[in-house]
Amino acid sequence: MLEEDLDRSNNYHPIVTLNFLKGNAVTDTLNDTEGTHELNENVLIINFENKNKTLKVNFNDFKDSDLEFSTYSAIIGNSDLHIEELGQMKKFFKLAGELTKDLPVEFIEK
């Protein structure tokens, strides 16, 4: 992507749609999975966990976005995926594949 294209919202594709709920709850609407989030200084940590799978993603340098169409920006940090049951793999495998470390991301409110 060229630098001049970074200011256009149609040049971004969604990785996941998150709903931030009361307290520290969060849901991933793509996989209908509930989890938690926490903000430690400038790192947003998203955790999805149930008895068969866990996914933890750190978004580093989490801050207000400089782009008009976006609310927050961050850099994808470490992500950790554990799946105990192969049948559960499909749901998170696609999402985990999109989580390229050091990739800049924008959080766009709908």
Average pLDDT over residues 91-99: 66
Q: For residue 9, give Cα distances in angstroms to 5, 13, 42, 59, 64.
A: 9, 9, 24, 20, 16
Tokens 């999975």 belong to which residue? 33
User: What is the spatial distance between Cα 48 and Cα 34, in angstroms, rounded to a whole number?
Assistant: 6
Using the predicted structure, report yes or no on whether residue 48 has a pLDDT greater than 70. Answer: yes
Name the pLDDT band for 2 (thresholds 50, 70, 90). very low
Domain boundary assignment for the chain: 3-107
Using the predicted structure, report yes or no on whether residue 20 has a pLDDT greater than 70. Answer: yes
Q: Report the pLDDT value the prediction gives residue 30, as an integer from 0 to 100.
A: 64
Q: Which residue has the higher pLDDT, 100 or 56?
A: 56
